[in-house]
Chain A
Amino acid sequence: MKFTTPVLDYAILSPILIVLAGALIGVMIEAFLSKTRRPIVQLILTLGTLLIALVQVFRIRNTTSLSAAMGSVIFDGPAFLLQMTILIISIISIFLIADNENFTALAAALPGSIEEQEATCKGNQVTEVYPLTLFAVAGMLLFPIASDLITLFVALEMLSLPLYLMAGLSRRRRLMSQEAALKYFLLGAFSSAFFLFGAAYLYGYSGLISFAGIRESIVGGTGNDVFLLIGIAFLSVGLLFKVGAVPFHAWSPDVYQGAPTAVTAFMAAATKVAAFGAMLRIYYTVFANAQWSWSPLLSVIAIITMLFGSFVAIAQRDVKRMLAYSSIAHAGFLITGVIALNKAGLSASIFYLFAYGIATVGAFAIVTLVRDSAGEVSDLNRWAGLGKRSPWVATIFAFFLLAFAGIPLTSGFIGKFSIFSAAYESGAKSVVIAGVLSSAIAAFFYIRVIVLMFFTDSHEDATTVVIPSVLTRITVIVSFVITVALGVYPAPLIDFINKFAIFIR
């Protein structure tokens, strides 16, 4: 038997390898360093790792390769943009995660057990969340650059498994947090099965697992179309689950609510980028020639997702659940960009992912600040009068909400405009009209929160806004500044994205 030595293109894989190395060192630190020094060392290590990875991604921006790592990884302009986005979002959210106030001291202990109390009292805070974050980031970096079905699946699991764990790390209301983690895990495992099932059918259709091979079979049109359709359908289910599109959204409100808010921020923003990145690559390159078979269905899903997310968000009484449904609606807007299937759609989607991700991290960062004696308060009724007590926090949160609503002079407006115009250009007029209508509906619940904060007098059991720590403050300010800047003068970023947003195949 002849054995071929695998040829690896280390330059292209380097960002992922750097992040993985950082994660492994993190695990070592967890084992060997004293508890007092752990948090700060972990933070510096994680931040440093992400920054080095970011620099490395930037350095290889002009590299393109169809066959890095024996054809299982592809690197091109969109890959560069998506990896940058994921890393920037991770860096901003790591400051939020570093505020260890939010995490349980000992995740392995039963909720309410003596061990847990002991760990909390003695300050035996474990810091496993850092390496977990890095592992998830590595998976996210791999997901949009995978170029065969196996790598895609491995990346999917690699980003999901740490997230399942992270969702269960909440310091307060641990049972709810663990319930969220379990739900996320079970439904995630379920969707992974769908994904694998679809992958198997695509293999059956083309006899190959590489994206290039499957695309050629579709172009050639010689295979069994039933296999192709089943393959596309089930693979889509797996991907749509990750982005939280209706009807595969059921996990997201519970997980968003139960997970520690810092994790929710990271998950909501970065996972969306990774998952949509992979979706864009698959639909734009692999399935592009079978557009007739998925485009109508995806249009229906986009319309349902936008309308459902917007309508159900109106009824929410919890800020994290509301943001979860809002993120479902935004997933609908983003699917619009996938349907567009043109260059404008790709650029617009990447811009939207960046703008939305940043605003999401910022909004959740604000949520971590609103507390009472028992911790974070996500009950919207108790947010009443926040504008009076802490005008700055309320104003910035209102600004993020306006960005989600797509009011001009925020990044959200530019994103919405570009993604809708791309979809309209490709002829998906009904989706655009549904998108515009659901924007109007969505505006209602964003504004309701603004009314609560500014125009409603506070109750007796009012919440207080804690003075943000330096770390959280960095997250809030950076995301706020980016959201404003992209709303007022987005031209440089749009030009930058346009320069790189071409898939190679």
Chain B
Amino acid sequence: MTLSLTLLMALPLFGAAVLSALPKTNALLAKQVALGTTLVSAAVTIGIAVQFQRDNIDLQFVESHQWIPSFGINYAVGLDGISLVLILMTAVLAPIVVLAGWNESQSGRWSTKTFYILILVLEMMAIGVFAATDVFLFYVFFEAMLVPVYFLIGGYGTGKRSAAAVKFLLYSLFGGLLMLASIIALYVLSGEQGGHTFDTQALSHLHMSSMTQNLLFLGFFIAFAIKAPLWPFHTWLPDAADAATPGTSVLLLGVLDKVGTFGMIRYCLTLFPNATKTFTPTIIVLAVISIIYGAFLAIGQKDIKRLIAFTSISHFGFITLGIFAMTSQGHSGATLYMFNHGFSTAALFLVAGWMSSRRGSSTIADFGGLQRVTPVMAWSFFFAGMSSLALPGLSSFVSEFLVLVGTFTRYPVAAVIATFGIVLAALYILIPVQRALHGPTTPGNENLSDLTLREKIAITPVIAIILFLGFYPSPLLKVINPAATHVISQLGFSDPAPTQLGGK
């Protein structure tokens, strides 16, 4: 059987259909079907990654079928290095989320079966959104994806789950509708210039006045900045992350928010190169603010889930910085960062989820001395934290370093300020590590149980990937670099030559 993206998307959908036919009472069977489906999808994705030709900068695994011909809309999918890496991340994270959150659907409003149907539909749409090469198709996935996430947060979360779900949905819808206006404008422009199309490649050759280009760019960018989320569009994220189950949070922050940064590369930069140049300084400033702001607020958080959410805002600042630095190192770094952030956030959220479900609270102050009581869990959290603060030898270090190097060659001031984000990262990770893991055991924690075998199996691949890519990132970089260089050269940028300061 030949591997194709359509097959990859059909798999989770098929799994969801099987699930919906299962009886509601058999929760275990639902979980097993979900795990099986996600594992097969992951295997297919790895197969696709192996077949992917790394040096070929053309889109691969291309498929295109007419969908709504009278509007020039195609079902068109394809892969470049950037989308491959993100799909790989999605497909590998999905079974981990299913396995790690084996029991997290219990506190939901609906059955376990519904939970996994939503997860599988979400996985399918996430793959679709990264694979789409037709702007309309991308938009359909981009918006439709909100629905399963909305029900996952509102139906299975904790605390103020429905308020958080609504906030998430309204923010995203608002951004999405701005993007829709831009897409309509692109559609009309393409009609005026030789025929209606939504093909990303064809749209990148449109002629637009600079005013039009700026407005359309903003329509896309605000949608992505809400998704990513960039300061000042971030306020929905902490609430959503707080209310969602750990598994949902992993998918939300690890996978879905990447659509924002991915969209910036794939759509903002490619479709509107001139507007990109106009807005780059502003966006660099926003990115730097995000880095510092997210880090400061993370330091101040008392709740572990909110803390992780704010660290993510800081990390998304780094990714955006890397994208808009317009250097190939910055771009490669940003893409690698997206991948690594997926795994380090997954590790943090999953372990934090296990901690809080055992303790019945996610307040940092409620923990203490976990290292003595539950050593494996404590060490996993410590490791996840180290990955989040980009300790050399772990994968995040490579990407953060690349982003900073790539930024410094063009925007030294921004790079220097962003570097403070790393210092702050040490604080926001080490403070909770110290409070939760070390010191005397807080009363009530004496009898917490350590990770079960299932949880250990779930966290092991995450840790392995973080370690492996920390020492040897080149398998991924070899895939990312050609694509990143291609994007940069298409924009007409070349990497600034390094200058020697103070040389003789």
Q: Which residue of B lies closest to A435 (CB)?
A: B181
Instruction: Tell me which of A405, A408, A418, A451 has the highest count of chain B C-beta atoms within 10 A of its own C-beta.
Output: A408
Asked if B161 contacts A455 (CB within 8 A), the reply is: yes
Q: How far is the CA of A391 from the CA of B143 in the complex (A)?
A: 23
A206 to chain B, nearest CB (A): 35
Q: How far is the CA of A417 from the CA of B135 in the complex (A)?
A: 13
A495's partner among B70, B109, B177 (CB-CB below 8 A) is B70
B151 to chain A, nearest CB (A): 7
Interface residues in chain A, defined as those with a beta carbon under 8 Å from any beta carbon in chain B: 387-388, 391, 402, 405, 407-409, 413-414, 417-418, 420-421, 424-425, 432-433, 436-437, 439-440, 443-444, 447-448, 451, 454-456, 489-491, 494-495, 498
B472 within 8 A of A: no
Query: Which of chain B's residues 58-88 have a Cβ closer than 8 Å to chain A?
Result: 66-71
Q: How far is the CA of A402 from the CA of B143 in the complex (A)?
A: 11
For this complex, 17 residue pairs linking A to B, each with C-beta atoms less than 8 Å apart, are A387-B109, A391-B110, A405-B173, A407-B146, A408-B141, A414-B68, A418-B71, A421-B71, A421-B188, A424-B185, A425-B191, A437-B177, A444-B170, A455-B162, A491-B69, A494-B71, A495-B69
Q: How far is the CA of A448 from the CA of B163 in the complex (A)?
A: 10
Q: How many interface contacts (CB-CB < 8 Å) are there between A and B?
A: 85
A436 to chain B: which residues have CB within 8 Å?
177-178, 180-181
Q: Binary interface profile of B, 10-21, with partner A (CB < 8 Å = 1, else 0)?
A: 000000000000
A454's partner among B68, B71, B151 (CB-CB below 8 A) is B151
Q: How far is the CA of A443 from the CA of B172 in the complex (A)?
A: 11
Q: How far is the CA of A327 from the CA of B70 in the complex (A)?
A: 28
Asked if B162 contacts A456 (CB within 8 A), the reply is: yes
B408 within 8 A of A: no
Asked if B66 contacts A455 (CB within 8 A), the reply is: no
A439's partner among B71, B177, B188 (CB-CB below 8 A) is B177
Asked if B70 contacts A491 (CB within 8 A), the reply is: yes
Asked if A417 contacts B165 (CB within 8 A), the reply is: no
Q: Which residue of B lies closest to A429 (CB)?
A: B185
Query: Which of chain B's residues 160-205 have a Cβ closer than 8 Å to chain A?
Result: 161-162, 165-166, 169-170, 173-174, 177-178, 180-181, 184-185, 187-188, 191
B102 to chain A, nearest CB (A): 24
Asked if A409 contacts B144 (CB within 8 A), the reply is: yes
Asked if A388 contacts B109 (CB within 8 A), the reply is: yes
Q: Which residue of A lies closest to B169 (CB)?
A: A447
B154 within 8 A of A: yes
Q: Binary interface profile of B, 129-152, with partner A (CB < 8 Å = 1, else 0)?
A: 000000000011101101100010
13 additional A-B residue pairs with CB within 8 Å, beyond A425-B191, A454-B151: A405-B173, A407-B143, A407-B146, A417-B180, A417-B184, A424-B188, A447-B169, A451-B166, A454-B154, A455-B165, A490-B68, A491-B69, A494-B68
Asked if B181 contacts A432 (CB within 8 A), the reply is: yes
B155 within 8 A of A: yes
Asked if B173 contacts A498 (CB within 8 A), the reply is: no
A491 to chain B, nearest CB (A): 5
Majority-rule SS of A interface residues = helix
A300 to chain B, nearest CB (A): 19
Interface size on B, residues (CB 8 A): 35
State whether A408 and B70 are in contact (beta carbons under 8 Å apart), knowing that A447-B169, A454-B154 are contacts in the complex: no
A426 to chain B, nearest CB (A): 9
Asked if B147 contacts A420 (CB within 8 A), the reply is: no
A437 to chain B: which residues have CB within 8 Å?
177
Instruction: Tell me which of B68, B139, B146, B155 has the highest count of chain A C-beta atoms within 10 A of its own C-beta.
Output: B68
B159 to chain A, nearest CB (A): 12
Asked if A424 contacts B68 (CB within 8 A), the reply is: no
Q: How far is the CA of A405 from the CA of B144 in the complex (A)?
A: 12
A155 to chain B, nearest CB (A): 31
A88 to chain B, nearest CB (A): 21
Q: How far is the CA of A391 from the CA of B108 in the complex (A)?
A: 14
Asked if A498 contacts B184 (CB within 8 A), the reply is: no
Majority-rule SS of B interface residues = helix
Q: How far is the CA of A5 from the CA of B412 in the complex (A)?
A: 91
| Chain A to chain B: the 4 pairs with minimum beta-carbon distance, closest first | A455-B162, A408-B140, A436-B181, A408-B143
Q: How far is the CA of A498 from the CA of B196 in the complex (A)?
A: 15
Asked if A455 contacts B155 (CB within 8 A), the reply is: yes
A454 to chain B: which residues have CB within 8 Å?
109, 151, 154-155
State whether A447 and B170 are in contact (beta carbons under 8 Å apart), knowing that A425-B188, A491-B70 are contacts in the complex: yes
B146 to chain A: which residues have CB within 8 Å?
407
Q: Which residue of A lies closest to B154 (CB)?
A: A455
B174 to chain A: which residues have CB within 8 Å?
440
A432 to chain B, nearest CB (A): 6
B482 to chain A, nearest CB (A): 32
Q: How far is the CA of A87 from the CA of B71 in the complex (A)?
A: 27
Asked if A421 contacts B140 (CB within 8 A), the reply is: no
A455's partner among B68, B69, B109, B173 (CB-CB below 8 A) is B109
Asked if B69 contacts A433 (CB within 8 A), the reply is: no
B154 to chain A: which residues have CB within 8 Å?
451, 454-455
Q: Which residue of B lies closest to A438 (CB)?
A: B177
A421 to chain B: which residues have CB within 8 Å?
71, 184, 187-188
B161 to chain A: which residues have CB within 8 Å?
455
B70 to chain A: which residues have CB within 8 Å?
491, 494-495, 498
Q: Which residue of A lies closest to B179 (CB)?
A: A436
B165 to chain A: which residues have CB within 8 Å?
451, 455
A456 to chain B: which residues have CB within 8 Å?
162
Asked if B67 contacts A491 (CB within 8 A), the reply is: yes
A413 to chain B: which residues have CB within 8 Å?
140, 143
Q: How far is the CA of A407 from the CA of B66 in the complex (A)?
A: 21
A481 to chain B, nearest CB (A): 17
Asked if A440 contacts B69 (CB within 8 A), the reply is: no
B153 to chain A, nearest CB (A): 10
Q: How far is the CA of A498 from the CA of B70 in the complex (A)?
A: 8
Query: Which of chain B's residues 267-291 have a Cβ closer than 8 Å to chain A?
Result: none
Instruction: Tell me which of A409, A455, A491 has the highest count of chain B C-beta atoms within 10 A of its own C-beta.
Output: A455
B68 to chain A: which residues have CB within 8 Å?
414, 490-491, 494
B141 to chain A: which residues have CB within 8 Å?
408
Q: How far is the CA of A391 from the CA of B117 in the complex (A)?
A: 15
A311 to chain B, nearest CB (A): 15
A439 to chain B: which residues have CB within 8 Å?
177
B67 to chain A: which residues have CB within 8 Å?
489, 491
Q: Which residue of A lies closest to B143 (CB)?
A: A408
B177's partner among A391, A425, A440, A494 (CB-CB below 8 A) is A440
A504 to chain B, nearest CB (A): 21
Q: Which residue of B lies closest to A416 (CB)?
A: B180
B417 to chain A, nearest CB (A): 34
